[in-house]
């Protein structure tokens, strides 16, 4: 497949001419510019020995990024012997047939959107967007207008098979999980008799289990820390990697950190609820070593809002691939180490050091788990914070020992 040639700036700047013309993005994807100024995304492909065209929609309603994603989906279908043009026609016909039926207030789409409105707020925006997009793309076009109580397990399975056919087995499993939540909500609100997804257990092939790469063996952790210290790329990236193992928050929470969230006098970083997966504020105690990294960072980005601004714009944070690229340049594959791997690195070794798993989970912001909530609901937040401060300083000291190449012996059982 040819390399992508277009960008948003070039697509937006394309002017109409006397005759319509094409701007190619490669791999058969192009935008056709009409004399009226209308810009339409199309994919040229061959199926059954014939050249065909698939229309994705108008720019900018359909973005360049969206068009590329749909083009990838279409190519996957073609590789599996499925004509994406026919799939689109089938979906349009299904919508037309459903439109001929008297409207109902208890359709799959209406109840799904109601469910999402009630419960979607518990997720971070990026996850919520993925859920609703998955429903809009893979569920609503096929059975969205059907009354939820009339949908059979076989009908839902046919929808899931379409997703599976394009090679997105993991997405099919996630869609089935979302449907289970929606059907159980419909049962609870009296609009469905049963959760039909229970009948589909085992109907999909298992998705390949993937593990985020993480280095946890102490000697290798020490080597990783030394490699980070010697990293010759962006100073912002190097300092982000230095801070990551000391705070072990999620990569997005680290990259989007703002200076206003830090109280260096109290040695605390409070991440607001809007940026947390569980939609609750999260407090991260800062060790002496973490404060030292922040002091270094002050000279680099202290004059702005973000700790880790993008090299392209100080109003945007580092991209989600910046840390991954740095790790690759150090020689680590995605199977060996990822930006998310600093969390596994910390949790594994802290447990080996003797810390109570519940305290580790609390610091990882996994406190929404039932056993953690039950274990801590009778104790004050202040007591937990004091213990977490001690743990985070001990952890930073332990990492210093690993960085120095010392043979670090666990300190023994810690009470939590």
Catalytic residues: 250, 277, 340, 343, 366, 376
CB proximity list for 64: less than 8 A, separation 6 or greater? 6, 7, 8, 11, 25
Taking the CB of residue 257, how many other CB atoms lie within 10 A of it? 24
Q: Which residue matches tokens 């229309």?
A: 55
Q: For residues 340 and 364, what is the distance between their CA atoms, to the nearest angstrom?
A: 12
Q: Evaluate whether 284 touches 271 at the Cβ level (below 8 Å).
A: yes
H/E stretch holding 269 reads strand 268-271
Q: At what angle do helices 218-229 and 235-247 cross, to 10 degrees?
A: 150
Q: For residues 318 and 236, what is the distance between their CA atoms, to the nearest angstrom?
A: 9
- If we measure between CA atoms, which residue out of 188, 196, 117 comes closest to residue 160? 196
- If we measure between CA atoms, which residue out of 213, 227, 235 comes closest to residue 318? 235
């Amino acid at each position: 497949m040819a390399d992508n040639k277009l960008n948003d700036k070039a697509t937006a700047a394309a002017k109409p001419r006397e005759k319509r013309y094409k701007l190619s993005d490669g791999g058969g994807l192009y935008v056709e510019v009409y004399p009226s100024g209308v810009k339409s995304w199309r994919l040229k492909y061959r199926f059954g020995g014939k050249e065909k065209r698939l229309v994705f929609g108008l720019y900018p309603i359909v973005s360049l990024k969206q068009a590329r994603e749909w083009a990838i989906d279409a190519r996957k279908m073609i590789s599996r012997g499925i004509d994406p043009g026919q799939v689109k026609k089938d979906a349009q016909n299904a919508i037309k047939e459903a439109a001929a039926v008297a409207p109902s207030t208890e359709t799959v789409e209406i109840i799904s959107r109601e469910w999402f409105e009630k419960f979607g707020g518990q997720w971070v925006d990026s996850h919520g967007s993925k859920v609703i997009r998955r429903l809009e793309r893979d569920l609503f076009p096929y059975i969205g207008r059907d009354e939820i109580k009339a949908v059979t397990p076989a009908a839902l399975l046919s929808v899931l098979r379409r997703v599976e056919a394009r090679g997105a087995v993991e997405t099919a499993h996630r869609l089935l999980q979302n449907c289970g939540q929606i059907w159980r909500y419909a049962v609870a609100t009296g609009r469905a008799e049963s959760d039909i997804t229970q009948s589909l257990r085992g109907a999909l092939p298992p998705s390949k289990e993937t593990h985020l790469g993480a280095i946890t063996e102490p000697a290798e952790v020490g080597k990783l820390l030394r490699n980070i210290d010697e990293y010759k790329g962006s100073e912002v990236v190097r300092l982000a990697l230095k801070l990551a193992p000391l705070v072990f928050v999620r990569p997005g929470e680290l990259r989007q950190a703002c200076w206003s969230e830090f109280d260096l006098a109290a040695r605390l970083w409070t991440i607001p609820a809007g940026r947390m997966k569980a939609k609750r504020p999260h407090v991260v105690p800062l060790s002496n070593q973490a404060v030292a990294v922040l002091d270094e960072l002050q000279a680099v980005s202290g004059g702005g809002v973000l700790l880790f601004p993008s090299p392209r714009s100080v109003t945007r944070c580092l991209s989600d691939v910046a840390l991954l690229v740095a790790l690759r340049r150090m020689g680590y594959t995605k199977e060996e180490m990822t930006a998310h791997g600093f969390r596994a690195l910390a949790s594994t070794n802290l447990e080996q050091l003797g810390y109570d798993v519940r305290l580790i989970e609390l610091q990882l912001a996994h406190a929404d788990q039932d056993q953690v909530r039950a274990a801590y609901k009778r104790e004050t937040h202040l007591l937990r914070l004091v213990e977490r401060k001690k743990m985070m300083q001990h952890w930073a000291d332990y990492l210093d020992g690993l960085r120095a190449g010392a043979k670090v012996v666990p300190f023994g059982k810690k009470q939590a």
